[in-house]
Amino acid sequence: MQESQQRALRALDRRGRLRSLAPRRGLDFSSNDYLGLAASDALREAAESALARGVCVGAMGSRLLRGNDPEHEALEHEAAQFFGGESCLFFAGGFVANHTLLSTLPARGDLIVADELAHASMWEGMAASKATSVTVSHNDANAYSDAIRVWREQGGTGRVWIVVESLFSMDGDRAPLADLQSIAQRHEAMLIVDEAHATGVYGPQGRGLATDLDGANNVITVHTCGKALGAMGALVTLPSLHRNFLINRARAFIYATAPSPLIAAIVRDSLKICAAGDEARERLQHLVTLARSEIKSKLGLSATATQIQPIHVGREARAVSISKQMIEAGFDVRAVRPPTVPDGTSRVRLTLTLNVGSDDIRKMLATLAKALEEHAS
């Protein structure tokens, strides 16, 4: 066993894909802390207030045993109201939420249709599901319809589950949610939308890009709490029937110690901050507009209209070298490479947060322009 693991690590090293943990260094251009809440006084005070009123740090057991805390239930009630869902279930993180949904709800004989760039957590859930899974071209709504039609023609009779991110984490582009909702209605399908990178940033009061769909009886949304909300966990808004089914059948929910009640209490405050955060979202969008302009003028590249800006560089070694140079210059810019992204599409992934200002962005992109030129070959 140990020798096979050593061989696997050596093979990764030879291919330039051996990873290791690295500390935070320099200005933040790689985190998902879009509203700058993670280290904020507001959330620190929320934690202190919760502890002062006796909220437990640990849940002490699964939700079905003694681990079901009033903070969990209060958060789920408030989140369902905030996002407009019929009900809500709180998970320890977005990965486990997506994995649990897709490994539990679609049944044998069903079909899962997923965007080819859907998050790894979704792929893991689909791999564990008894349903059939197919992928379609990125952001091609017609491809979903075609895949469903072909499946039906081949004798498929179960339910269809459409899976997508509202804002794609590696490319920074948005999904055609209105088109997908129309397709879901036409085929009596369920639509699962991962709002991880949209929650807190887009929609009225930061409710996400799927806010107009939430509450429909064929829509499930996943709102992670460890990005713009500054904490951790994931809030899944969904019809009550599906919530009850997960509570009774989802092994990752039934047999896991419940999320920290303290974290649940903090997320409750995060949602209040999010609801009142229009000024913060405006400041973030100003930074996005500035970055788009600077990327065009300094790098000669087009940019996304979101807080996620992938700078494609092609080769893995080039992405790693550029990242290293940027970090040494005081900018925490990380490389993203296979298997996270397809071969030949390695990139440095820039994220814009309120942890930096306009001058920081200008300096970072000027430094990046030099790094790209120095590593042009």
Cα distance between residue 116 and residue 163, in whole Å? 10
Catalytic-residue membership of 138: no
- Please list, in sequence order, all residues whose beta carbon lies within 8 angstroms of the beta carbon of residue 298, skipping any fewer than 6 positions away: 365, 366, 368, 369
**Residues 346, 348, 349, 352, Cα dihedral to 10°:** -170
Cα distance between residue 114 and residue 134, in whole Å? 6
Please identify which of the residues 197, 223, 270, 316 carries the catalytic annotation: 197
Cα distance between residue 348 and residue 367, in whole Å? 13
Rounded to the nearest angstrom, the gap between the alpha carbon of residue 97 and the centroid of all alpha carbons in its chain is: 11
362-371 per-residue burial string, b: 16 or more CB within 10 A, e: under 16 = ebbbebbbeb
Cα distance between residue 75 and residue 269, in whole Å? 9
Q: Pick the closest to residue 129 from 151, 156, 98, 150 (CA basis).
A: 98
C-alpha count within 13 angstroms, C-beta hemisphere, residue 345: 10
Catalytic-residue membership of 3: no
What is the residue whose two structure tokens read 């057991």?
A: 61
Parallel, antiparallel or unpaired: strands 87-91 and 334-336: unpaired
Please identify which of the residues 28, 33, 110, 165 carries the catalytic annotation: 165
Find out whether 372 and 322 touch, Cβ atoms under 8 Å: yes
Find out whether 56 and 83 touch, Cβ atoms under 8 Å: no
- Which run of H or of E encompasses 88? strand 87-91
Please identify which of the residues 169, 218, 260, 355 carries the catalytic annotation: 169
Catalytic-residue membership of 197: yes
Catalytic-residue membership of 165: yes
Catalytic-residue membership of 194: yes
Please identify which of the residues 72, 119, 187, 223 carries the catalytic annotation: 119
Please identify which of the residues 72, 187, 227, 242 carries the catalytic annotation: 227
Cα distance between residue 111 and residue 95, in whole Å? 21
Catalytic-residue membership of 98: no
Please identify which of the residues 69, 194, 269, 332 carries the catalytic annotation: 194
Please identify which of the residues 32, 145, 323, 355 carries the catalytic annotation: 32
Supply the residues annotated as catalytic: 32, 119, 165, 169, 194, 197, 227
